[in-house]
Each structure stands twice: as structure tokens, then as C-alpha cells.
Homo-oligomer: A and B are copies of this chain.
């Protein structure tokens, strides 16, 4: 492929591991921490989808909190106000996947490195700052500016509105629904498949499948 000028990354689940909310989930819900964070994430996504589908925009930080409260309540797990704040703060301190920083470091300068996230600026700015990742990104875009969640085409259009119709884009995400949305919008797509899963069977297939971000180097050389 030609070297794409713009590498546009998803953030949650793609660069940062949302299933590992530090040790706090386990501390708040002993023996249930890992399962809890997975269910919380699924609920967060479901709420974002329902928000977009029903045409009623709710900010990502609001629906992340709603999903947290609901997950605790539905499993009859008491959630003290203090613990709720601690877990919400964890979303600003997610751990990156192991290879991410060194790959961004190596890409920096050769490509325009961008983010398009369902998270708002209030979540993205501290997360990137806490990981000391902000220095790697040329553009950090939040769908909050257009109030439409991925995988709506109205979210991906934000990229075209910023960089023009002709710029080469490679969109990268670990989330199948995100890859499907970006691909149907018209971007070249690379699915980061760290868990060796089959891609969703909706008729759309990603242009490239990478085991982790290091696979980008061989892809970008061709």
C-alpha cells in the first residue's frame, strides 16, 4: 500500500486496556473485579449505541458513569460514592497495551498520528497526559464536537471535515463495530486482533488484520 499520511487510532480497547482498570475494580468488588470491568465496558458501549440510535446524545463520561452505577446495582453490589469516583478516575488512568508506546515513538514524525474517540475531551486529555502519550499525537478528535457516536458515519465524517477529502487515511481499531463503521464510511481499515478472535460476520471485512501495533511496520513498508 502507499504510505498513508494519516493513521487514525481508536483509543479505548485499542491503545488502552479497558478491561484492566488498575487494581481498583478488584479492590471495590473482591473476586469480581475482572468480570465487573468487562460488564461495565459492554454496558458503556450499549448505552453509547442506544444514545446514538435514539437520537439523544449523552456525553461519554455521563454514560460511563450510568453504566458503572447500573452494573453495580444490577449485580446487587453496593457502590459507595467514594468508590464510584475512584473507578471513574480509573478511566483517566488506563494502562496502555504493552507495545503501544514504542510503536507510537517509532511512527512519530513519519506519519500524522491521530485519534478519533467516543470519549470526550474531559476524558481523553487527562488519559493521554497521565500516560505521557499526548506528545505522540498530531490530532486528538472527540466525537463530542459533533455529538454523534461511532460507528455512525456522522462521527467518521469529522475526520474528513478536518483533513479534506483527498488525504490518505488508515483507520485502526480493536473494536469490530468501529472497523465496520470506518470501512463502510470509506476508510482503509486495520483491525488490531490481540485476542485471535474471528472478525464479526456482517459482510464487511477489514482491509488488514494486525496481531498488535508492531505489525504496522511491515504493513507500512509495502
Contacts and interface: CB of A to CB of B under 8 A. Distances in A.
Interface stretch (A158-166, A195-203, A206-214): A195-203
Nearest to A42: B42
A205 B155 CA distance: 27
B201 A69 contact: yes
A70 interface: yes
Contacts of A185: 54
B181 A74 contact: no
Closest 8 CB pairs of A and B: A70-B201, A66-B201, A54-B184, A54-B181, A53-B151, A50-B177, A54-B151, A49-B49
A216 interface: no
Interface stretch (A15-23, A33-41, A55-63, A93-101): A55-63
A52 interface: yes
A180 B54 contact: yes
Interface in A149-206: 149, 151-153, 177, 180-181, 184-185, 197-198, 200-204
Interface of A: 46-47, 49-56, 58, 63, 66-67, 69-70, 73-74, 149, 151-153, 177, 180-181, 184-185, 197-198, 200-204
24 contacts: A46-B177, A47-B200, A49-B49, A50-B177, A50-B200, A51-B202, A53-B149, A53-B151, A53-B177, A53-B181, A54-B152, A54-B180, A54-B181, A55-B152, A56-B184, A56-B203, A56-B204, A58-B202, A58-B203, A66-B202, A66-B203, A67-B201, A69-B201, A73-B198
Q: Which of A55, A149, A153 has the most CB of B within 10 A?
A: A55
A201 B202 CA distance: 29
A51 B184 CA distance: 10
Contact of A151 (B50, B151, B184): B50
Given A50-B181, A54-B152, 5 more contacts: A46-B177, A49-B49, A53-B53, A55-B184, A73-B201
